[in-house]
Chains A and B, each alone.
Chain A
């Protein structure tokens, strides 16, 4: 089976500043790929390119089988996206948010009502169907946000620091959702600051100063650097950074 993401020599410059410096990597279909790096290491820029929001200065590759430079519109149809900031509409009700994004991705009225029922029952949120999203606890919003990012059955879902600001227990339950999604064959591309989450990934890459310093499974990385957890791996690698945030 082909790779979900293949990137070669990707570079993005803003004037003299090289945000992403000649990175190459592949993400296999169905894996959970952790994309780590300190603030300002270039993660967000790289992710924006992969989502078709930004055009690389040099290099290229494919996402979901489509060229990131020439076919960003096709990519957009086949990816889901959930960003670090909570990103549903607080003044719309739960079901209206679901309907909106169903509509945006071109689902039919029937598909939308089926999806709405499925999402609400999976999350156990039938009771708050008519509640405004603003009134939900953060953990619920994140789970809803994730389900909505998956509403059009994308091949790859990009999660940009999806669990910021919630307790470990809520985070763990969020990851159960992610595992459930991958068992259905979806590829997950996730950035995070929580190293316990990095342990959940099949493979992780660590970005430092725009370059990928390390890429392997968490266990292999721990062995290579002779440490016990991902936290220590990250500190060894991020300590090499020259540029400031």
Chain B
């Protein structure tokens, strides 16, 4: 045990002495949060909506009024025919067009459905998607009102989900806080651990540790401990920032969230170990964790691009990204306030991955030693 403590002290000294890295590691989450929170705003303001349809129809007028009254949308012009839409987009006069079908109001009243086409400007797919969502939200709230006048029960049940999805001011924060959390933990735990182990391989000190009577497992554990500590600090920083600066609610249990976070830290640590077994220089460890872990995590875990919109093959790939499951769980706990029963599937998947990776990396580590 005393031998182990000597190790742990050494590891802490390493990272505390490396002030520059330490600073980066502690400030990284803050910068990321502020960047995502204020610079990369994904919500839309004053999107210009063109209307194609019969404004003398009271149902159409009602919807157009609603669109106009919406904080984030404004009606730009009423077009005589859908053919004009292209040129409006080209001249950047409008962001989206809503085309109502013939006799929209009559159909809506008689059959409970009217045909509407929403055309977005796909040259900027992300904001187009967002604006189309807003417009759909307006249309759907119109529909909800109609159906709620028919049966109250149903509408009450769908109401909360409508509110959550179409609470645009919050939307990007809701999305990126769990994402940034996943990303930071991944970076700190896997990148830093792998680099610190590979550094010892490179400098030759690893040999020295291995010929000592200390068991390899303890060497690994003591390597990992400081980063566990650092990621706890990061976790707290992100939570505080998201709560008090971004205004993201913490509806679920903090304990459950922490348990999930610890699980994810272990996943990342075992990935870091795996990298340190494969890589023989610090550079290759950095590259491997950068390209091999960060990129797929950013692209495929749903932080920026929603997994649901990916082509089938990428969706399958995204299932393999541990961060995806972590982010889903964080969203459920923080924003939906879900308890353990609701995240049990994701929890089991992540736990399974962790167990697999941990066994593999410890085994590989031993063999390499």
Contact = CB atoms under 8 A, between A and B. Distances in A.
A91 interface: yes
Nearest to A97: B10
A92 B10 contact: yes
A8 interface: no
B208 interface: yes
B5 interface: yes
Interface stretch (B11-19, B141-149, B303-311): B11-19
B156 interface: no
B264 interface: no
Interface residues of A, number: 29
B13 A96 contact: yes
A105 B204 contact: no
B39 interface: no
Interface in A76-125: 76-77, 79, 81-92, 96, 99-106
Contacts of A89: 10, 14, 205
A48 to B, nearest CB: 9
Interface string B195-233: 000000001110111111110000000000000000000
Contact of A87 (B2, B204, B369): B204
B6 interface: yes
A58 to B, nearest CB: 20
B68 to A, nearest CB: 64
A216 to B, nearest CB: 28
A52 interface: yes
Contacts of B207: 53, 81, 83, 87
B71 to A, nearest CB: 55
A77 B213 CA distance: 6
A91 B13 contact: yes
Contacts of B5: 103
B6 A99 contact: yes
Contact of B214 (A51, A90, A104): A104
B213 A91 contact: no
A73 interface: yes
B211 A104 contact: no
Contact of B14 (A91, A104, A106, A158): A91
A158 to B, nearest CB: 8
Nearest to B215: A73
A88 B10 CA distance: 12
B205 A87 contact: yes
A90 B14 CA distance: 10
Contact of B204 (A52, A86, A91, A158): A86
B211 A106 contact: no
Contacts of A103: 2-3, 5-7, 9
Interface in B1-59: 2-3, 5-7, 9-10, 13-14, 17-18
A83 B209 CA distance: 11
Contacts of A52: 211
Interface residues of B, number: 23
A85 B204 contact: yes
A103 B203 CA distance: 21
Contacts of A104: 3, 6-7, 209, 212-214
Given A88-B205, A91-B18, A79 B6 contact: no
Interface string A155-174: 00010000000000000000
B208 A76 contact: no
Contacts of A92: 10, 13-14, 17
Contacts of A106: 2-3, 213
A77 B214 CA distance: 9
A177 to B, nearest CB: 18
Task: With a 10 A CB-CB cut-off, give which of B3, B18, B212 has the most chain A CB atoms.
Answer: B212
B147 to A, nearest CB: 67
Nearest to B205: A87
Contacts of A102: 6
Contacts of A82: 208
A76 B9 CA distance: 22
Interface string A31-67: 0000000000000000000011100000000000000
Nearest to A85: B204
Contacts of B205: 87-89
Nearest to B8: A103
A145 to B, nearest CB: 9
Contact of A83 (B6, B14, B17, B208): B208
A100 B10 contact: yes
25 contacts: A52-B211, A73-B213, A76-B211, A76-B212, A81-B207, A84-B204, A85-B203, A87-B208, A89-B14, A91-B13, A91-B14, A91-B18, A92-B14, A92-B17, A96-B13, A100-B6, A100-B9, A100-B10, A101-B212, A103-B3, A103-B7, A103-B9, A104-B3, A104-B6, A104-B212
Interface of B: 2-3, 5-7, 9-10, 13-14, 17-18, 203-205, 207-214, 369
Given A89-B10, A104-B3, A104-B6, 17 more contacts: A53-B210, A53-B369, A76-B211, A81-B208, A85-B204, A86-B204, A88-B205, A89-B14, A91-B13, A91-B14, A92-B10, A92-B17, A103-B2, A104-B209, A104-B214, A106-B3, A106-B213
Interface of A: 51-53, 73, 76-77, 79, 81-92, 96, 99-106, 158
- Give 6 closest A-B pairs by Cβ, nearest first: A103-B6, A85-B204, A81-B211, A87-B204, A76-B213, A87-B208
